[in-house]
């Protein structure tokens, strides 16, 4: 059976060795978890999206949009290469909205979810497996 050293220097050496083993194990675990978790990155869609939408009289909506993405750099570049098609789809989505839906909080939430689904459909058609967590309206104006 193992006994702790009784000499003070041996006890100190014993404690240091155990601390080093523990620190090495913690660092190895931290390295593994940081590799498996991708950090959120944001793709800003520029310029602002401006279009008219369905209303009794001529009305416009201006939206600043960003995509919250968790993917590696090659996926981000692939998403950026399809931004013209994504912008087009977002403009068509905004143009189909009605005043009540575009000005209420629930309507905007539904719009965000539909925009995310539409973008994921586009990327899926192109064979891109991007983890788009959220579509963010960083600016939203209805006139």
End-to-end CA distance of the chain: 81
Question: pLDDT by residue (tens digit) across 110-127?
Answer: 999 999 999 999 999 999
User: What integer pLDDT is reported at residue 55 of this predicted model?
Assistant: 84
> Do 112 and 102 meet the contact criterion of CB atoms below 8 Å apart?
no
Say how many C-beta atoms besides its own lie within 10 A of residue 1's C-beta.
2
What is the per-residue pLDDT for 31?
47
User: pTM for the complete prediction?
Assistant: 0.72
């Amino acid at each position: 059976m193992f006994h702790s050293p009784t000499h003070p220097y041996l006890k100190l050496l014993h404690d240091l060795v155990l601390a080093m083993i523990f620190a090495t194990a913690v660092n190895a675990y931290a390295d593994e978890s940081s590799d498996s978790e991708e950090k959120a990155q944001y793709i800003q869609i520029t310029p602002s999206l401006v279009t008219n939408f369905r209303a009794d009289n001529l009305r416009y909506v201006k939206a600043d949009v960003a995509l919250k993405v968790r993917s590696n750099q090659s996926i981000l570049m692939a998403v950026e290469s399809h931004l013209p098609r994504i912008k087009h789809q977002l403009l068509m989505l905004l143009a189909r909205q009605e005043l009540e839906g575009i000005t209420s909080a629930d309507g905007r939430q539904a719009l965000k979810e539909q925009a995310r689904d539409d973008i994921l459909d586009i990327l899926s058609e192109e064979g891109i497996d991007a983890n788009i967590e959220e579509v963010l309206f960083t600016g939203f104006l209805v006139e």
